Amino acid sequence: MVIILLGIIMYFIGLICKYLHDDYKQYPNIHAGYKIGSAMKDKETWEEANSYIYKACIISLIFSISFIGLTNLLDLKIPKVIYYIVEVLILVGPIVLTEIHLRKFNKSRSANN
């Protein structure tokens, strides 16, 4: 149950980042959005990061529902360590995916210039 709750929380965080993030002009007084240094380089990167984190959070939600659904459907007895690993993946996964995407995004932008 905790895993699904974490997935739902990540989904709402993604919604906030995509639709309620502050305008880049307010930097450094930004209160909502994906506020990691690589995302705050410029306005274009800021917008890309905030729209991409939403997609990664949806993946996190789908993963959490699928994991719990499969373990209940197949009546699997999984050790608590596996549950803890899945919880960390749900929480950290979207950040890692977004950082990888931002690196590729910035490389492709610099190659085009």
Of the candidate ranges 1-5, 28-32, 55-59, 109-113, the one whose mean pLDDT is the lowest: 28-32
Q: Are 72 and 3 in contact (CB under 8 A)?
A: no
For residue 42 the two structure tokens come to 């410029």
Calpha distance 110→106 (Å, rounded): 6
Give the range of the structural domain holding residue 22, as residue numbers without chain letter. 2-112
Q: According to the model, what pLDDT value does residue 28 have? A: 59
Which one has a higher pLDDT value, 80 or 35?
80
Cβ 53 vs Cβ 17: under 8 Å: yes
Backbone angles phi, psi at 49, to 5 degrees: -65, -45
Q: pLDDT value at position 46?
A: 87
Region 28-50 average pLDDT: 83
Whole-angstrom distance, CA of residue 43 vs CA of residue 25: 8
Domain count, the chain: 1
Q: What is the pTM of this model?
A: 0.85
Q: Under a CB-based contact definition with an 8 Å cutoff, are residues 56 and 14 in contact? A: yes
Q: What mean pLDDT, rounded, does the chain reach?
A: 89
**pLDDT score of 91 more than 80:** yes
Q: Examine the pLDDT at 31 and tell me if it is beyond 90.
A: no
Average pLDDT over residues 74-101: 94
